[in-house]
Chains A and B, each alone.
Chain A
């Protein structure tokens, strides 16, 4: 019979569910996060509580069987939040633990291939947001950027921005997921702001640095003037900057 493990949606919770699987070894199992769970009359249900120790044991076990690169594909796959990711990850982890060989590079296995493909997608999104974040300087000196990435990339881009902007306070806010990362010249903290405060017309209330508008204007001018009209290629342009990202990018004004 199919058993459903429900977890709280955290990475730790997911790893705890994996731990529970290895403890009980049910024949058929699916791992589902709370908010996506839909009751099913024919499945047994078990709510797994997030357990730091269990999660760590699974992670340590994986470390022994994988490269650090491989480990990061697992984390990336979790951050993809794709509806099927638990299924793929669980199957990969089972294979990794049960095969005596190091199987992370077995791209003939559907699950391992899917894992690498999803991690690649997430990696692409991470790289995109290292590029597409546009800070606006506020009157209080804070550099603020709102983003709406397809995947939950904030944890992945935090180190990049911390290294780069060590001498300015900044906040990158994921509008869709209602949380952000804030750097205060010392360290990076996750911040959660009540949704109502950040949605909609809140931008009207933010007061910007005196020169912010000028720099945006200069940037838009620059962007227009480095273009070579004789080489116009909108298909390629769109391919590189898909429409869904454009609204938070200062240089692209009229679409």
Chain B
């Protein structure tokens, strides 16, 4: 018992810098007799003190590793305690945690021991045993190990819901600096294989309904932010490329947390770039749910996202000629572009205006952040107050509103007098 406890501590510690957490998007059903079901939306079962969600049992099979990547806690040269689970230990933890409703499933990654095939084979064996012997239908996320054979990758896809391989460093320069044993080409190889296999499975499933699922929740990846000097522009464009050409479900951004005194990396105790990470996620959402193109969010002229305001507001401020937008007439996609209006509000607006000519008060009740949206929209009809503010002025007003609502109210009243 003590032993498994210590293993769990070491191997959870080693896995936690992988930020992927989602447990949604699968189609694996319980046949009525097995354990678990992965058909619904993902579930976050708990949240740790850092505010991140706990949805899967996220562990490494082992933190022994033959590589020496400077950014990684499990690198060969790091003097830390090493441990390895047995296949049955992982299965026992997964099923028993699952039965108590602690988790949605298993996220299994591993350091590379001996060679890629040897490692991948262990990961696949665990997933297979869970599915076949324990009739486990919960969510399984496996790491694709670069360099593993196509046969093993294919088998992994049959038992896992999601596969991922982490790019970690956005550019080859980064690799040369921090992980000279690895290269982009090497990491993209399993991703390319899985993308193709998922596509083929989808096509064949149209013809043969009973064909087994193949990684039904798709692929994801992660990039470390702030370990190497890439710009937001580079990161966003790589993400966009992965969404478009590899059909990834998610790209995660992990603000680098200094874990090494290596001179090539930010010094220990440098605070992680949380705000930058947050802005990147906002940009990611704009691409996936708001119909923004990558070049609208960041370009060589604006290689870094504005830290003061979110990327949607930043875009609006750079494109004032696009506004103001008539809430009662504009298309859904256009309304989504208004700062202060999210997906839910935009949908409600489009529904509600079929019944009533919408006024600011309706918008507030629906959930629009009117204090922000008002600079970019109007309700049509007569008596429109047309603003003639500069981008700087609007930015100051919006930011002012964040600190003191009272203050912005005063300014507003003064301005409406003109």
Report which A residues bind B (CB closer than 8 A): 101, 103, 105-110, 113, 127, 130-137, 143, 145, 160, 163-168, 211, 214-215, 217-219, 221-223, 225-237, 239-241, 249-252
Contact = CB atoms under 8 A, between A and B. Distances in A.
15 contacts: A107-B352, A108-B358, A131-B45, A163-B29, A168-B35, A218-B8, A219-B97, A228-B48, A228-B52, A228-B257, A229-B49, A230-B257, A231-B52, A231-B272, A239-B51
B96 interface: yes
Contact of B34 (A137, A167, A233, A237): A167
A109 B101 CA distance: 40
Given A226-B54, A228-B17, 18 more contacts: A106-B355, A108-B362, A113-B365, A130-B43, A132-B45, A163-B29, A167-B34, A211-B96, A215-B96, A218-B8, A219-B100, A222-B12, A225-B13, A226-B12, A227-B16, A227-B52, A231-B52, A237-B47
A215 B100 contact: yes
Interface residues of B, number: 60
B46 A251 contact: yes
Given A231-B272, A251-B46, A240 B101 contact: no
Contact of B366 (A113, A133, A167, A223): A113
B30 interface: yes
Contacts of B17: 228
A191 B135 CA distance: 29
Which among A107, A234, A249, A250 has the greatest number of chain B C-beta atoms within 10 A? A107
Nearest to B6: A221
A11 to B, nearest CB: 24
Contacts, number: 162
A236 B51 contact: yes
B57 to A, nearest CB: 7
Contact of B97 (A166, A215, A226): A215
B33 interface: yes
Given A110-B365, A237-B49, A221 B5 contact: yes
A221 B100 contact: no
Contact of A227 (B48, B355, B362): B48
A113 B362 CA distance: 10
A218 B4 contact: yes
Nearest to A225: B12
Contact of B46 (A164, A217, A223): A223
A231 B50 contact: yes
A161 B45 CA distance: 14
Contacts of A232: 49-50
Contacts of B47: 236-237, 240-241
Nearest to B345: A107
Contacts of A217: 5
A249 B102 CA distance: 9
Interface string B92-105: 01001101111000
A63 B190 CA distance: 50
Contacts of A101: 355
